[in-house]
Amino acid sequence: MLDPEITPQEFLQQRSKPNPPILLDVREPWEFQTASLPNSILMPMGEITSRAHAELDPDQPIVVLCHHGQRSLSVTMWLRQQDFTHVQSLAGGIDAWSRTIDPGIPRY
C-alpha cells in the first residue's frame, strides 16, 4: 500500500503527469476561499462520512489536503478503512505547499 503521506514535491510531479490524482480539500469553506489549489474538490472534514462514497471513486488516486496535514491524515486513514486504497495526505498541508512550491498561495 502507498505511504500514507506524500510530500509537496512528489505531489507536484504527479500533478504534471497524465491522469493526476484528485485533490480533495477537507478544510472549511472560509479556508478554501482564503487559499486553495486549482482543480481541488472542497469536501470539509465534517462532511466526508456522508459524501465520500457518493462522490469519490475508491479506485481513483486521491491526495487529501488541509492546512497543516493533521485533518488530511485523519481523513486519509478513514478513507483507507473504507477501501479507498490509493489515498495519501499532503504532508504539511497547503502551508507546506505555499512555503516550498508556490509562494503565491496565501499563508494564514
Question: Rounded to an integer, what distance in angstroms lies between the CA atom of residue 58 and that of residue 37?
Answer: 22
Question: Rounded to an integer, what distance in angstroms lies between the CA atom of residue 106 and that of residue 50?
Answer: 30
Question: Rounded to an integer, what distance in angstroms lies between the CA atom of residue 14 and that of residue 10?
Answer: 6
93 noted as active-site residue: no
Using CB atoms within 10 Å of the CB of residue 78, give its burial: 0 to 12 exposed, 13 to 18 middle, 19+ buried: middle
Active-site residue identified among 24, 64, 66, 87 = 66
Is there a contact between 2 and 77 (Cβ–Cβ < 8 Å)?
no
Q: Catalytic amino acids?
A: 66
